[in-house]
Amino acid sequence: MLSPKPELIWQGRIHLGDEPGIFGDAFYSGLATEFPVTLQKTNPSGPDTTTLVVQTQNVETFSGYPGHEITVILYEEDPNQQFHFIETPLATKYLTSADNNHEEIAINLANKTSPIFVSVRVRIDTEVPPGLYDDFVVTRLLNKSQNFIFVASLGFHS
């Protein structure tokens, strides 16, 4: 069973899209934003999965297009080169109007050593012609983990 209340990682207002200023109360980042997250496993015998949740406002996608890409990326040390890291996509989902401004991305972290470094990238759908890009606001990033087996914090912390 997932914890009854998801853990808040980040909350704010980041405007994605191609029309700066239409959300006067949000930071405008352009076509993408990415959040660094550290995950700590609190119980080694617990499940190896957690679910990251992206909440938004004003997502309105066009039918026939994939939607806004949300990608969770793992960062692991390169065993062949000291002080270098390798990026590995763990999961990708697409946020559309049908998702009602809420997308959950389950990730499998089996055989990963805590702390685990991931990022959550939100990128607008650029298959739509420029000038017709959807403008929306990212408002929250949450972690849903069974019995808080994985706890999350914003930023990379060792």
**pLDDT score, position 12:** 98
The answer to whether residue 47 scores a pLDDT higher than 80 is yes
Which residue has 């959950």 as its token pair?
A: 104
Asked if omega into 44 is within 30° of 0 (cis), the reply is: no
**pLDDT score, position 4:** 64
For 66-115, how does the pLDDT look when each residue is reduced to its tens digit (9 = 90+)?
999 999 999 999 999 999 999 999 999 999 999 999 999 999 999 999 99
For residue 70, give every residue at least 6 positions away whose Cβ sits within 8 Å of its Cβ, in sequence order, or none.
Answer: 54, 92, 93, 94, 95, 103, 105, 120, 121, 122, 123
Q: What is the mean pLDDT of the chain?
A: 95
Q: Against a cut of 0.75, is the pTM above it?
A: yes
User: What is the CATH code of the structural domain delimited by 7-154?
Assistant: 2.60.120
3-class secondary structure, 99:
helix
